[in-house]
Amino acid sequence: MPSSHTVRARARERNSVLSRPEFLSLNQPLRSGGGPPESRGGARRPGPIKHQTSQPSEEPVEPSKLPEEDCMLLNPSFKGIAKNSLLAIDICLSKRMGVCAYTYSSCGGCRSMVSLMSFTGHGITWIIGTLLCLTRSNTLAGQEVLVNLLLALIVDVLTVAGVQRLVKRRGPWEMMPSLLDCVAMDLYSFPAAHASRAAMVSKFLLSHLVLAVPLRILLVLWAVLVGMSRVLLGKHHLTDMVCGFALGLLHFSLMETVWLSSSTCQTIISIGTFSWSPFF
């Protein structure tokens, strides 16, 4: 004869909410087979929810690092602030001065004239012109000056192309380089190749040619206009032009240091024209 206490416990168990069929899975232990428990009627009931506990790994996981452009420096240095400010001013002024960048720009009607001025400082133009003058020259002094000028032009083109490849700075406006620019390897913005060449050529001619004062003034004005034309066309920044002028003067000083004598120039001309006879 069961006791009254046992009868009351069984009654509470039958009346309990957890004894209903939909809550049977909560009272049953987990099975090793992984299959869902079945009720007495044969219908499958939803199995217990298994919580996967992540075990600690042996090596600590490093947090993912954000790229530099997504990071914000909360305490930048004074040097960084000054550099970024100067670059922002340079880009802003260069964009405002690019009035002939496109035909629909504010001074787009003058684009052809400014492009012609820029063409007078192109490296291919000066190299071909120097070679033509060298074939026409009959004096030793003239050939000496022209050979050194040709070497200075080649050094200028190669040096500027190397620095541009190293820095890879784009111009203020997104423009594709022209065919002549690709031939002269003038693909990037810094430094301005036309400004470097104009400064070097003008200084070279002023030093080795006897010119009247008006011609000397026009030569300096031509160099400045060639450098400015590239900024007006939207090809270069202002700092590109200034650094181009400085690099051109550096090329002139270098050529003055390694100036080739007249005999060396005659040997180079003989080799270039295939008329060199070293044994006779």
Per-residue pLDDT of the chain (280 residues; tens, 9 = 90+): 556 667 666 766 666 655 566 555 555 555 555 445 444 444 455 555 444 444 544 555 555 555 554 455 556 687 878 888 888 898 898 888 888 888 888 888 888 999 999 999 998 999 999 999 998 888 899 899 999 999 999 999 999 999 999 999 988 887 888 887 888 888 898 999 999 999 999 999 999 988 899 999 999 999 999 999 999 998 999 999 999 999 999 999 999 999 999 899 889 888 877 665 544 4
Q: Per the domain annotation, does 19 fall within a domain? A: no
Asked if the structure places residue 166 within a domain, the reply is: yes
Predicted local distance difference test score (pLDDT) of residue 279: 43
**CA distance linking residue 233 with residue 251, whole number of Å:** 25
208 is catalytic: no
249, part of any domain: yes
How many C-beta atoms lie closer than 10 Å to residue 250's C-beta? Answer: 15
Residue 46 backbone phi and psi in degrees, to 5: -60, 130
Q: Which of 122, 236, 237, 251 is catalytic?
A: 236
Buried b (16+ CB within 10 A) or exposed e, 70-92: eeeeeeeeeeeeeeeeeeeebee
Distance (Å, whole) CA 201 – CA 178: 23
Out of 122, 194, 237, 251, the active site residue is 194
Position 193 in a domain = yes
How much is the pLDDT for 159?
A: 94
Q: In whole angstroms, how far apart are CA 129 and each of 122, 124, 154?
A: 11, 8, 13
Distances, alpha carbon 121 to alpha carbons 74, 75, 196, 243, in Å: 46, 45, 9, 16
Q: Can you give 150-175 as a three-state secondary structure string?
A: HHHHHHHHHHHHHHHHHHCCCCCCCC
Q: How many CA atoms lie within 13 A of 182 on its CB side?
A: 5
Domains identified in the chain, total number: 1
pLDDT for residue 245: 96
Domain assignment of residue 196, yes or no: yes
- Reduced to 3 states, what is the DSSP secondary structure of residue 67? coil
42 part of a folded domain: no
Q: Is residue 81 part of a domain?
A: no
* 5: annotated active-site residue: no
Amino acid at 144: E
Q: Is residue 22 part of a domain?
A: no
* Host domain of residue 185: 112-271
Instruction: Give residue 30's pLDDT.
Output: 52
CA 14 distance to own-chain centroid: 79
What does the pLDDT read at residue 269? 86
